[in-house]
Structure 1
């Protein structure tokens, strides 16, 4: 018993003799939640723990609201990528805005049935926590806000303050003000990826301004119904560097629009029921690097499109295979029997 006590005392003395940096290095092997517990051992360990957080570059909030806040208070300055889950509520946003100054990616992940983050409103009020994030996280490069309610003030805050954004997703957001507030997104001149899917009030003016100002845009999603007319669709053809376009389920899209596209690598037009062989064939001819074409749920597409794709790809020298997605089983089987090009594949997708 005395020997064991002597050993324990000796071991404790050696641990306590370690300097702060050595203790911090040991604590860095612990999960982040346990590092907080170590602070309660003694004053020296508390001081050492404060030096053990610089290795945290990514963090997914999801432990508990209290623990997540404690962790962000300690390592927020070092975090580059942060994910807020349904465990969080709006109280954590002020800590993110105050401590996480070096974020390059902020993601909100929530369940539609969740009443926490889904109820998070981004709007201008005196001391509004969400706006703190938008105005102070100047290094953000990626922002995803799905199924949110966005006010004009929130959109302006994103556009004016998050100047480094390259990736912005606001699909199926409800715009709770003037529909032309989305025009402010054209200020984000470094955008490469933009998702405006499911925004029913999307106007021609927004697309026109984005086409004029966002010269780096490579991927655009505007799936679902919206307020775009031929004027807006025409503006889509003026994007200089656009490589991927998703316009699924838009019944206003016609051949006159798509046949003007050049340089696309991906075109998703599933459910665009007014497109026919003529328009799609012209897309294939205009886009020699086309690698994916989604033609599911399009009754006006026939074997003529597959024959034209076979001829267009047969002499490709870019080693790019064109994958055509179709949901018509008969068309898929008939295609297999006539395709000769090694650079063309059809894939069947059941959408029933």
Structure 2
């Protein structure tokens, strides 16, 4: 027996087919919201659908302000081998060149996440012409010729952050021209400066804007003379460099006492020493010039010892931010000197296996503390830090994490719950006219091997009503 027909079924079907919305009926505003989440290759493909999508696709490039060469941005799979050519670059920049604010070339050519590049020097010149509003340019490992840099100097006058590998065929005069045309330059990073004399061009830096200079990978027989010349040039113009406050030095293989850095260090308030040789006979006398230093970063330097850290704590009395990573010779003796002599507001220690942190709770001015992969750091001392901060009624953030994945080949002690107990004890207490709330974040990812606890003591003006219950402890678990 055939099934009984339902009256009105066909009619209702027609009504639904007419009234139900579909992607073609979306207006241009909705399409713009969708297209802004697409990759570069997808943005170009949707332009071929219809005239409305073409119009929306072209207009959707307005928010596209950063261009790099990661496969995820371009829409290619991780294991795909794709080469970006001149034609592809011109096709993309013809749509978004006027909106681009940042261009970043890859730092490492063998990174599997990075696309392969086959861009000619002529195309680089075209890039500079098509991106007149570019503010940040990181050339990474990509080497350019003097002619391409000259085109950049003529086309762009808005650069604020410039990173250049001096393995390129760039002369001191080329850099001087570049600096002269970009009066808004704030950050300058120069890599591999063995093959070029960079001393004279420092005098052409924009006096009213430059804030940070980084010198990286200085090796070779003439490096010492170049560093002396660079710092002498800085010294000669430092009174005129009104905003120059940060100097980063990476991978210099000479004794600190031979750098001549102290001669122009008075104006610095931030110094980064990354994989350098900072051995010196009298660290206290060499550091006297850094009396105005407020931020200091040590990363894997030869000579990062307790004695050097003690000298820092005695001479750099204005220091309030300290970052230590991979300083294997630093123990609690050096960290205790920092805790007792300096009024730090921010302290970060990473890969510090010889530190247990017994004097960390004595840092009564600390507002931010982060520890990562410190094998012997005692959780009980960190819990004491939280309780002390609550007693002082100050804003305080503590981040304590390990990364014990199989790739790291390192084992760390498990969290024993002391931090959680301290946070629970603090939560909801009202002291000194302020309300202290505590937030906890615990992460345990089996694949990555990351364990992380984040405790935030947020000091707010006391607004407490007797009828309202006290805030409860918040715990977010992501497993």
> Above 0.5 in TM-score?
yes
Q: Of the two, which has the highest radius of gyration?
A: 2
Aligned to 1:215: 242
Q: How far off is 1:220 after superposition?
A: 0.9
Q: Give CA deviations for 1:178-197 in whole Å, capped at 9, x if unaligned.
A: 45334335445412221112
**Structure 1 residue 259 corresponds to structure 2 residue 288:** yes
* Equivalent of 1:136 in 136, 155, 161: 155
**Structure 1 residue 238 corresponds to structure 2 residue 266:** yes
Higher relative helix content: 1
Aligned to 2:177: 157
Of structures 1 and 2, the one scoring higher in RCO (CA 8 A, sep 6+) is 1
* 3-state SS of 1:212 partner: coil
Distance 1:185 1:281, change over 3 A: farther
Q: How far off is 1:102 after superposition?
A: 0.6
Aligned to 1:96: 127
Count of equivalent residues: 313
Q: Give CA deviations for 1:299-324 in whole Å, capped at 9, x if unaligned.
A: 6x7876445334324xx4x7x15456
Distance 1:188 1:72, change over 3 A: farther
**Structure 1 residue 167 corresponds to structure 2 residue 187:** yes
* Equivalent of 1:145 in 158, 164, 181: 164
Q: Give CA deviations for 1:258-282 in whole Å, capped at 9, x if unaligned.
A: 13322323323553539873x6434
Aligned to 2:94: 73
Distance 1:74 1:138 in 2: 21
- TM-score, length of structure 1 as denominator length: 0.69
Structure 2: gaps (5+ residues): 1-17, 75-83, 107-114, 377-479
Larger deviation, residues 221-230 vs 38-47: 38-47
Q: Give CA deviations for 1:165-184 in whole Å, capped at 9, x if unaligned.
A: 112211333443x4533433
* 3-state SS of 1:214 partner: coil
**Structure 1 residue 291 corresponds to structure 2 residue 321:** yes
Q: Give CA deviations for 1:35-57 in whole Å, capped at 9, x if unaligned.
A: 43455567887677544432322
- TM-score, length of structure 2 as denominator length: 0.53
Contact 1:250/1:272, CA 8 A, preserved across alignment: yes
* 3-state SS of 2:238 partner: helix
* 3-state SS of 1:259 partner: helix
Q: How far off is 1:22 after superposition?
A: 7.3
Distance 1:238 1:52, change over 3 A: same
Distance 1:214 1:302, change over 3 A: same
Aligned to 1:197: 216
Distance 2:246 2:261 in 1: 15
Aligned to 2:402: none
* Equivalent of 2:297 in 256, 263, 268: 268
* 3-state SS of 1:287 partner: coil
Structure 1: gaps (5+ residues): 1-9, 111-116
